[in-house]
Amino acid sequence: MDLPLLSSPRALILHYFDSRDRDKEMLLALAVPSFISSTTAHSGHLYLINPRPRPPHPRRVSAKSNPTFVPAAHQSRRKCECFDLHNELVPYGEAWAWQKDIVRKKKALIENDQDCPDTLIALQHHPVYTLGTRSSEEFLRFDPKAAPCDVYRTERGGEVTYHGPGQLVMYPIINLRNHKMDLHWYLRSLEDVVIRTLLSTFSIRASRLQGFTGVWKLAAIGIRVSSWITYHGLALNVTTDLTPFQRIVPCGIQDRGVGSLKGLLKENSQSEQRGAPSDDGELIHITYNSLIREFSEVFQLEVCQRSASSSSMLKKEAQLS
């Protein structure tokens, strides 16, 4: 069974086929984007609980560290291989093809009744705009034939978004049979990874409001699920140049802007007269390690990191996986 998750600015729609191949739609009543905005109440989005959180003191991690996250007293956790390219700029087309190749291999393992382990890819992209399966080009503020950078229409859910340097992208390719065969649970879990990262590392407290998905303004979530195997994933603006977002309507929502973790920390550090990491590379590295740690906790996985030095290495790993 193939489960493509599609979305509109107000709701995610799950399309599937029943035994008689009749196309059905189930309105899940979930929102597409994710944003941390203000303390003003607005139904359906995540907002800061405390507009002036405790001064950010990011957990320091050696820039040379390449840890395997094995929480104490959890020896029975399943392993998840993590391809670590978080400091690399990987062309979107290559990463997309790599994901689909991994999905095909995992499906073959399942069909042969073999163990299907989980995989996580972490990276950054060269500037690119991506659209979901049913994204509308009306949310592009440029002529697609004269685009300022590459544009891809993909099979993920959601409207148009932008990926670029300074944005951490995580592509979990996991077998939901090993977790919960529940798309609501999976989406909520991806949200939790971001929410826990913001709180545990940067003392930014966010809360989920019923009816919407994501952490709007800082992170976007768009997924595809095929035979209960997930791909695509989440993107978190860390030190991202936000200018390219001005050329689209992010996630199809007209009246909301986007922001970055760096910008939010700068605002908070000014209000609290305390310093945040001044080096972009350090902030990205701290955020990456926190995301991996929280991913491990939320999904109850032992994350075993594998390094890759370039997109050419990425291609090699795709052939060997």
- Least Cα distance to 250 among 16, 30, 34, 64 occurs for 34
φ, ψ of residue 295 to 5 degrees: the values are -60, -45
Q: Which residue has the tokens 């199809």?
A: 252
Q: What is the DSSP secondary structure assignment for residue 156, as one 8-state letter?
A: S
Largest CA distance in the chain: 63
DSSP code string of 162-197: EE-TTEEEEEEE-BGGGS-S-HHHHHHHHHHHHHHH
How many CB atoms sit inside 10 A of residue 157's CB? Answer: 28
Are 134 and 14 spatial neighbours (Cβ–Cβ below 8 Å)? no
CA separation for the pair 285, 199 (Å, rounded) = 16
DSSP code string of 76-88: TPEEEEEEEEEEE
Q: Is 117 helix (H, G, I), strand (E, B) or coil?
A: coil
Q: CA-based angle 188:277:314, to the nearest 5? A: 60
Residue type at 175? N
For 15, half-sphere exposure in the C-beta direction (CA atoms, 13 angstrom radius) is 14
- Hey, CA dihedral for 25, 30, 35, 39, is it positive or negative? positive
Point out the residues that are catalytic.
Answer: 251
